[in-house]
Amino acid sequence: MIIIAPFVALLLPTAMAAAVTNHCDQASTFVDGNHYCSAVERVSFMDVSFSGSYNRVTGMPEGGACTYAVTPISGPLAPFDEDMSLQLRGPLEFRQLAVYYPQSGSDINKREPHAKVGHTHVKKHQHDHGYHHLHPRQPKLIIETDVVTETDYITIDAPEPTIAHQATTFATSTRSTVTHTETELADCDDDGDDQTSSAVNTPHSSPQAPLKSTPSSLAVSISTTPSTVSTVVSESQQAPSKPASTVSPNGATGSWSRASYYNSDSKTSQNITFLNNMGGGKSGVFSIPYGASLSYASADGSTSAASSEVFGGKLSSCQELSVFSDTACTEELCGFSRPGAVTRLGFGGKNVASGQKLLLMEFKMPHDSVPCQAQQDIPAIWMLNGKITRTGEYTCNCWSSGCGELDIFEVLSSGNNKCISTMHAGQANTQGAGFPDYFDRPVDSFVKAAVLLKGSNIIFQMLPSDFDFSDNMSVEQIANIENPSVPGLKAASAKFN
pLDDT of residue 105: 47
**E strand residue ranges, 90-200:** 92-102, 113-115, 142-146, 155-157, 168-170, 180-184, 199-200
Q: Which amino acid is at 483?
A: N
Establish how many alpha carbons lie within 13 A of residue 236's alpha carbon, considering only the half-sphere containing its beta carbon.
9
Q: Return phi, psi of residue 399, to 5°.
A: -55, -50
Neighbours of 414 (CB within 10 A): 16
Amino acid at 402: G
User: Which pLDDT value is given to residue 353?
Assistant: 83
For 152, 419, 462, the CA distances from 482, given in Å and listed in that order, are 20, 21, 12
User: 422 near 407, Cβ under 8 Å?
Assistant: yes
Residues composing the chain = 497
Helix (H) or strand (E) holding 481: helix 475-482
CA 282/CA 306 separation, integer angstroms:
5
d(CA 455, CA 457) in angstroms, rounded, equals 6
- Is the torsion defined by CA of 274, 278, 280, 285 positive or negative? positive
- For residue 134, the model assigns a pLDDT of 41
Q: Residues with Cβ < 8 Å from 57, sequence gap 6 or more?
A: 66, 67, 68, 336, 387, 391, 396, 397, 398
Dihedral sign for Cα 225, 226, 229, 235, please: positive
- Do 86 and 101 touch, CB atoms closer than 8 A? no
Distances (CA, A) of 114 to 93, 220, 245, 259, 326: 21, 43, 37, 13, 11
Model pLDDT, residue 396? 96
Closest CA to 458 of 155, 54, 77: 77
**Residue 354 dihedral angles phi and psi, to the nearest 5°:** 55, 30
Return the SS3 of 212.
coil
389 within 8 A of 125, measured Cβ to Cβ:
no
CA atoms of 496 and 156, how far apart (whole Å): 13
Contacts of 312 (CB under 8 A, 6+ apart): 264, 299, 300, 301
Q: Which residues of the chain carry a pLDDT beneath 70? A: 1-27, 105-252, 430-431
Could you give the CA distance from residue 425 to residue 402 in angstroms, rounded to a whole number? Answer: 4
Between strands 491-495 and 42-46, the pairing is parallel
How many Å apart are CA 103 and CA 254, to the nearest integer? 7
| CA 459, 460, 464, 469 torsion-angle sign | positive
pLDDT at 269 (0 to 100) = 98
